[in-house]
Amino acid sequence: MSVVPYKDKKEGKKQQVASMFDNISKKYDLLNHLLSLGIDIIWRKKAIKMLQKDQPKLILDIATGTGDFAIEALALKPEKVIGVDISEGMLQEGRKKMKQKKLEHLIELQLGDSEKLLFQENKFDAVIVSFGVRNFENLEKGLADMYRVLKPGGKTVILEFSKPKKFPMKQGYSFYFKYILPQIGRMISKDHSAYTYLPESVKAFPDGRDFLGILEKVGFKQTQCKTLTFGISSIYTGIK
């Protein structure tokens, strides 16, 4: 059984995830930085550094949300970053941000599903995702489509929550994620399920070697995993 945000609703995971992010879109950036004490910004920067040597010109940012990872990718001086997401609410917030920062000529945000990307194969120099793959309805299908649109020799960089394995971080993180984060998330976002879904979905999601196994299954080579901040997050990379 896959973990869904609204357990009493009959819709599938994809529709529920899109509705949930539509609901919290206006508070998403604030909550992200507040709940992670700003560490999410450092994690995104570290993930983008994995592409420094590759100098990709055309980058696809999957599950772009409000576009923070796409903006971070501009450090690589690409010609263009295309961001896709299934939540129109998140994209609207992202478009406002691009306008304010005058980045509309560099970053294009489009409504799109990671499991049915509307791009030809071998198009992008790099395909990146931050905190998105955990929300896919069908993880293998999403990763396989990312592989399809990547150029041969191109790299994928995936940033996602993982589970700290050692005492005392494992226990401390578990307490924070289960009892503190959902309360703050609920209070600010007014969505009763979104920040309960977060720890539940992380718990159920494959991390470390298990995730690399799935990347390899869909075709990625030279896969690597780098853990961040005691294993709270991990960066996964793979080459087509």
Annotated binding site: 66, 85, 113-114, 130
Parallel/antiparallel/unpaired status of strands 221-228 and 150-161: unpaired
Q: Which residue is nearest to ligand SAM (CB)?
A: 65
Identify how many contiguous H helices and E strands the chain contains and give both numbers.
9, 7
Structure tokens at 49: 């550094």
Residue 82 DSSP SS3: strand
Question: Of the two residues 190 and 221, which places its CB atom closer to ligand SAM in the complex?
Answer: 190
**Nearest distance, CB of residue 63 and ligand SAM, angstroms:** 3
Shorter beta-carbon distance to ligand SAM: residue 120 or 168: 120
- The reply to whether 87 sits near ligand SAM by the rule CB under 6 A is yes
Q: CB atoms < 10 A from the CB of 40, how many?
A: 20
- In this structure, the number of other CB atoms found within 10 A of the CB of residue 169 comes to 15
Residues in contact with ligand SAM, total (CB under 6 A)?
A: 23
Closer to ligand SAM by CB, 33 or 151: give it: 33
Name the binding residues for S-adenosyl-L-methionine. Answer: 66, 85, 113-114, 130
User: How far is Cα 149 from Cα 123, in angstroms, rounded to an integer?
Assistant: 5
Closer to ligand SAM by CB, 99 or 152: give it: 99
Q: What residues numbered 97-136 form the site for ligand SAM, per CB under 6 A?
A: 113-115, 130-132, 135-136
Where b means 16+ CB within 10 Å and e means fewer, 197-215 reads bbbbbbeebebeeebbebb
> What residues from 133 to 172 belong to the interface with ligand SAM (CB under 6 A)?
135-136, 142
Residues from 20 through 49 that contact ligand SAM (CB under 6 A): 21
Listed residue (162, 167, 166, 147) closest to 221, CA to CA: 147
User: Which C-beta is closer to ligand SAM: that of 87 or that of 193?
Assistant: 87
Q: What angle do CA 28, 187, 64 make, to 5 degrees?
A: 10
Name the site residues for ligand SAM (rule: CB under 6 A): 14, 17-18, 21, 63-65, 68-69, 84-87, 90, 113-115, 130-132, 135-136, 142
